[in-house]
A and B are shown apart, each in its own frame.
Chain A
Amino acid sequence: MPGERGVLGTFGDPGAAARAVRALRAAGLRVDAAMPAPFPELVEALGKHRSRLGLVTFPGAVTGLCLGVLLTVGTSLAWRLVTGGKPIVSVPPFVIVIFELTVLVGSLTNLVAVVVGGARGAKRQAAVAAAEAVGDRIAVFAAGDPAAAARLLREGGAEEVRDVP
């Protein structure tokens, strides 16, 4: 939450960070983290629920499918031109087009979803986002009781601890 008071510690090693995170959470503090790569142990330590991106992507794919059906069947019926003695609505060829559109629209919604979701994440986790932990450092932010947080972070082997803001 923006403007929320808390303590930020940086780590060089994912394992250490993970341990610190566990300790902080054990102390009942809310913890956010930022990292250059999705280190499994750290993600696990944070123990947050899985992303619900699928709720956006799947409907997107379905939209693509409907679009495909509308486009192929609709345009064929709008002006019935017979080719090669095939039926006006010739399903097998249309399926191919419909499939491609499903994939296309699905992936594009997926893209939009991840960009928007990411932006919202960065906003909600402004404190830790500010640390720009994209290079060789892992940032861990603990909200609530600053003193306890700072102690736990130091014990956890944080290379640097500071209060934010």
Chain B
Amino acid sequence: MSLRARAAALLAASASAATLCAAAPPGPAQPILFSHRVHAGDQRIGCTSCHVYAERGPVAGVPSMQRCQGCHKFVREDPDHPEITAQLKPLLQILKAGTAVEWVRVHRVPDHVYFTHERHVLAGVRCQECHGEVERMEVVRQVAPLTMGWCLECHHRKQRERPVGRERLTECVTCHK
């Protein structure tokens, strides 16, 4: 058996260790009820139409209150479903007050990791590959461990698929500057 294969075996071992290290916790409670299932799932609103910077910069960006306002100027109530109208109230109050919703952070990489959405989105990585089936989640939770081994597993694979021109994928300085 080739050294390469043995190496792959070792890698698999460490990768499995990685998955063990990271059990996905349930999503944190957010200040107001916001359902990705409704927005991204039922309404089929594209991710980048709210997370506008995902294709342009390192951070995907939290939608501005102006953007919420954009739709909820009209979507204010649901006569048939009073409970939905009730759910909308807190948001409408905040929008009226002109303040901002203080969302609780879900995904986080350490400060010594330089992660940029831009490169991943432009490379054609689907949001779900890292964030999970967000459009099915009422409350967003972290599904991927976001550990180095987890990142590398994909980077190594992509590099093995087409090594030429992808040297940077497994360079330390790509993520640690």
Chain A complexes with chain B:
yes
| In the complex, A70 has a CB within 8 A of chain B | yes
Closest 10 CB pairs of A and B: A77-B7, A78-B7, A74-B6, A78-B11, A78-B10, A74-B10, A77-B3, A74-B7, A73-B3, A75-B10
Q: Are A78 and B8 in contact (CB under 8 A)?
A: yes
Shortest Cβ gap from B129 to chain A (Å): 22
Could you say which residues of chain B place their CB within 8 Å of the CB of A89?
3
Which A residues are within 8 Å of any B CB, using their own CB?
Answer: 70, 73-75, 77-79, 81, 89
A81 to B8, CA, bound (A): 15
- Identify which of residues 129-154 in chain B touch chain A, using a CB-to-CB cut-off of 8 Å: 152
Q: Are A74 and B3 in contact (CB under 8 A)?
A: yes
Q: Are B170 and A79 in contact (CB under 8 A)?
A: yes
Which B residues are within 8 Å of any A CB, using their own CB?
Answer: 3-4, 6-11, 14, 152, 156, 170, 172
A73 to B4, CA, bound (A): 10
Shortest Cβ gap from B153 to chain A (Å): 12
6 A-B residue contacts at CB 8 Å?
Answer: A70-B6, A74-B7, A74-B9, A78-B8, A78-B10, A79-B152
A159 to B170, CA, bound (A): 79
Could you say which residues of chain A place their CB within 8 Å of the CB of B8?
78
Q: Which applies to chain B's interface (DSSP): helix, strand, loop or mixed?
A: helix
A81 to B156, CA, bound (A): 13
Could you say which residues of chain A place their CB within 8 Å of the CB of B9?
74
Could you say which residues of chain B place their CB within 8 Å of the CB of A81?
172
A50 to B7, CA, bound (A): 43
Shortest Cβ gap from B15 to chain A (Å): 10
Given contacts A75-B10, A78-B10, 15 further A-B contacts (CB under 8 A): A70-B6, A74-B7, A74-B9, A74-B10, A77-B3, A77-B4, A77-B7, A78-B7, A78-B8, A79-B11, A79-B152, A79-B156, A79-B170, A81-B172, A89-B3
A70 to B152, CA, bound (A): 21
Could you say which residues of chain A place their CB within 8 Å of the CB of B7?
74-75, 77-78
Shortest Cβ gap from B20 to chain A (Å): 18
A48 to B156, CA, bound (A): 60
A73 to B14, CA, bound (A): 16
Shortest Cβ gap from A92 to chain B (Å): 18
Closest chain B residue to A79 by CB distance? Answer: B170
Shortest Cβ gap from A2 to chain B (Å): 45
Shortest Cβ gap from B157 to chain A (Å): 13
A68 to B86, CA, bound (A): 66
Closest chain A residue to B14 by CB distance? Answer: A78
Could you say which residues of chain A place their CB within 8 Å of the CB of B152?
79
A77 to B14, CA, bound (A): 14
